[in-house]
Structure 1
Amino acid sequence: MSQAPRESILEPELPIIDPHHHLWDRSAPVPTLPPVKHDFERVVRRSPRYLLDELLADVGSGHKIIGTVFVECGAMYRADGPPHMRPVGETEFVGGVAAMSASGTYGEARACAGIVGHADLTRGAAAREVLEGHLAAGAGRFRGVRQSASYDADPGVLGPLARQGPELYRQEAFREGFAQLAPLGLSFDAWMLEPQIPDLIDLASAFPETSIILDHVGTPLGVASYAGRREERFGVWRDNIRELAKRPNVTVKVGGLAMVFPGFPSLLADPPASSEQLASEWKPYVETCIEAFGAERCMFESNFPVDVLSCDYAVLWNAFKRLASGASASEKAALFADTARRTYRLAI
């Protein structure tokens, strides 16, 4: 793939808290790589290792990133012990990265100032054990959990991420586990696909005291059996977003639109898309979310390195800045830092 011309950084002094990125190391050599069957597999091929060095390179690419939030991705689980407690290993790993960053040795940005881990809430009340394990391992940085409900009857939509059955967030056992979050002061990140948003509306209504964050604007679809239907389904997505926004305990991460699932023309474009093209493609979704939730309940996210198939880190934040160009100073502060700071209770 050819390289896009390097863009000048827009508004380089605007403080940013990136509320959604991952860390992983999947670079162990494989004797024979299987053929790519889904574009999501290209993410790991392109970014097999994304640890502190790679994150710092992105954070230091020109925008004023003052802190980040790590979100679970199945990295560095414990190799032994009870299976339900193994995800605590990810929090232990990320806590070490956060401590390295907090030393100031690597610059002023505070990487992983907040940590979102994984817990299987379908264990019901017994899920409290792993939540308490995360809190102990997080050294004051653990903020909540994410358990993906992403599902579609067409397995080609999610490809290697098709691991979940339908209606997870409506299941009684899941909700019994979900009820453990608020008493511990923990929030919940929800990743699901656009047709599933009604499940989150129902969950948010049932637990108004629990802070819920919708990841990736609910993941619009334009691949597999949804190819060519993204615009057709926009009205359904919009109406569900407006209904979800009526629940004051919900905030939304505005991003993830560079993933494979929406199927925008910028995906794997050669040469890579400019921030102008990205802003144009994403505008209807971004504007709808900000109109429905207000800037104080929206936060731009990088979702790196997952979104690398459409753009690099600097171009992505330029696209968001173009989309927010008409916002007031207070609205920009919320979209780029203050909503994330408040939602994840960050001292940065």
Structure 2
Amino acid sequence: MSDNFHDPDSVLSASALRRRFLETGSDDDLPIADAHQHFFDVDRGYYPWLSDKLVDNFRYGSYEKIRRTFLPDDYFRATGRHRVVKTVLIEGEWNPEDPLGELQWVDALAQEQGFPHAMSAQAWLDRADVNEVLDTYARHPLVKGIRHKPTAVSRHEYSSRFTAPGSMRDPAWRDGYAGLGPRALLFELQVSWWHFGEAAELARDFPETLIVINHTGLPSDRSADGLRAWRLALETVARERNVHLKISGICVPGQRWSVEANGPVVRTAIDVFGTQRCSFASNYPVDTVVDDMADIFDGFKAIARAYSVEDRLRLFYDNTARVYDL
């Protein structure tokens, strides 16, 4: 088999790899459906956070190195030997005045390159054009869901009664959110874990809409107290059966990705949500700020060896394929 896994002629089908992996249990045969990745084209599209002044509060620190175009060829150079056979592109904070422009660009890219296989697109749930935007997404086979990062605050500012314009308790935002279920669109939730009480309310109030939590709930505080509080928050939202968890975005600023640092986070996430409600994802190229994608997937595989062959396949491929209908 060629080392160029991006070349369709050299890639074993996902079904063939699944069969082989179930027989061998070898990490070399494990198919991966990357549940969270990005492509950027800073020459064709306008991304305020990539094109304008650096954002001061980016969670990994300076991200100057990713303020560039990143396309499928770049992605597959980064995967190394890992057998990524399908990917889910998450909106890249394209120009908010033109949310549909990103879909047009991604659709052309997918037709030309074969990647991505699914997309969660940008929408602004509290804007007047939300129904028009959601109708367009619902008609497009590539789009499986949307992402709108709700208004949030720091942990020390948060209270259980928190509400604000654009938050998960904002009536205008929830009116837009109510349009997802009838259109069979899932919701990508990127918010810090102390907002998970609101997320649990949202899941209960709209049980027909699947919520997919991004980046493991952002457990940036690795103190014992921080990890205990994060786990309790995970347990709160995991009680709602229409919630799925993506294990990604857990890099520690200034450190290479390591099993020692991230193993407890990964194992806790799987312990709380179970192997049928979690998916591994790269968050590439964003996580290249801290480490290489090949190293991150090496780490996930090392941690996952404690689980059965069937569970490893669920975490790396099957769950993502089911959630995003790949």
Query: Where on the TM-score scale, by shorter chain, does this alignment land: which range?
Result: 0.7 to 0.9
Partner of 1:232: 225
State the partner residue of 1:178.
Answer: 177
Which consecutive segments of 4 or more residues in structure 1 shift more than 6 A?
Answer: 33-36
Calculate percent identity across the aligned residue pairs.
28
CA pair 196-36 structure 1, distance change in 2 beyond 3 A: closer
Distance 1:35 1:143, change over 3 A: closer
Paired residue for 1:321? 301
Compare 317-326 and 164-173 and name the one that shifted more.
Answer: 164-173
Query: How many Å apart are 1:212 and its aligned residue?
Result: 0.7
Deviations 1:190-234 (A, max 9, x none): 000122121111111111111110001111233xxxxxx743221
Match of residue 76, structure 2, among 45, 49, 56: 56
Match of 2:62 in 1: 42
The answer for the alignment partner of 2:195 in structure 1 is: 196
Q: Structure 2: 5+ residue runs without aligned partners?
A: 1-25, 45-51, 157-162
Give the match for residue 128 of structure 1.
131
* SS of corresponding position for 1:247: coil
Q: 1:268 aligns with which of 250, 254, 261?
A: 254
Alpha carbons of 1:36 and 1:152: their partners in 2 closer, same or farther (altered >3 Å)?
A: closer
Q: Tell me if structure 1 keeps the 8 A contact 2:65–2:289.
A: no
**Equivalent residue in structure 2 for 1:113, among 104, 117, 137:** 117
The match for 2:6 is: none
Residue type of the alignment partner of 1:211: L
Task: Give me the whole-angstrom Cα distance separating, in 2, the residues matched to 1:209 and 1:197.
Answer: 18
Contact preservation (8 Å) 1:146, 1:188: yes
Partner of 1:158: none
Query: Residue 14 of structure 1 aligns with which residue?
Result: 30
Aligned partner of residue 117 in structure 2, secondary structure = strand
Give the gaps of 5 or more residues in structure 1: 1-9, 103-110, 156-163, 223-228, 259-263
User: Structure 2: how far apart are the matches of 1:195 and 1:154?
Assistant: 7
What amino acid is aligned across from residue 91 of structure 1 in structure 2? L
User: How far off is 1:236 after superposition?
Assistant: 1.2
Deviations 1:277-311 (A, max 9, x none): x2211122211111111111000010011111221
SS in 1 for 2:219: coil
Q: Which residue is 2:310 aligned to?
A: 330
Alignment of 1:253 with 2:246, yes or no, is yes
| Change over 3 Å in CA distance of 1:200–1:12 after alignment to 2 | same
Aligned 8 A contact 1:74 1:90 in 2: no
Alignment partners' CA distance in 2, 1:165 and 1:45: 34
TM-aligned CA distance change 1:44 to 1:53, over 3 Å = farther
Report the CA distance between 1:50 and its aligned residue. 1.1
Q: Provide the C-alpha distance between the structure 1 equivalents of 2:289 and 2:65, rounded to a whole number of angstroms.
A: 11
The root-mean-square deviation of aligned C-alpha atoms, in Å, is 2.6
- TM-score normalized by the length of structure 1: 0.76
Measure the CA separation in 2 of the matches of 1:100 and 1:27: 18
In structure 2, give the amino acid aligned to 1:300.
F
Identify the range of structure 1 (10-19 vs 61-70) with the bigger mean alpha-carbon deviation. Answer: 10-19
Q: Structure 1 residues 87 and 35 mapped into 2: Cα distance closer, same or farther (>3 Å)? A: closer
The residue that corresponds to 1:108 in the other structure is: none
Q: What is the TM-score when the length of structure 2 is the normalising length?
A: 0.81
Question: CA, structure 1 residues 34+176, in 2 after alignment: closer, same or farther (shift >3 Å)?
Answer: closer
CA pair 38-119 structure 1, distance change in 2 beyond 3 A: closer
Query: For the residues of structure 1 that align with 2:288 and 2:43, how far apart are their CA atoms?
Result: 17
In the alignment, is residue 67 of structure 1 matched against residue 86 of structure 2?
A: yes
Change (3 A) 1:130 1:167: closer
* Residue of structure 2 in register with 1:345 after alignment: 325
Is the contact made by 2:194 and 2:233 (CA closer than 8 Å) also made in structure 1? no
CA contact under 8 A between 1:151 and 1:166: conserved in structure 2?
no
Query: Separation in 2 of the partners of 1:172 and 1:150?
Result: 13
Amino acid at match of 2:119: I
Report the Cα distance in structure 2 between the residues aligned to 1:252 and 1:45, rounded to whole angstroms: 28
Instruction: Summarize the Cα distance change of 1:22–1:14 in structure 2 as closer, same or farther, 3 Å threshold.
Output: same
In 1, the alpha carbon distance for the partners of 2:198 and 2:136 equals 28
In the comparison of the two structures, how many residue pairs are matched? 287
Return the offset for 1:186.
0.6
Q: Which residue pairs with 2:261 in the alignment?
A: 281
AA partner of residue 148 (structure 2)? Q
SS of residue paired to 2:283? coil
Q: Does 1:100 align with 2:112?
A: yes
CA distance in 1, matches of 2:168, 2:100: 22
Q: Is the Cα contact below 8 Å between 2:70 and 2:285 reproduced in 1?
A: yes
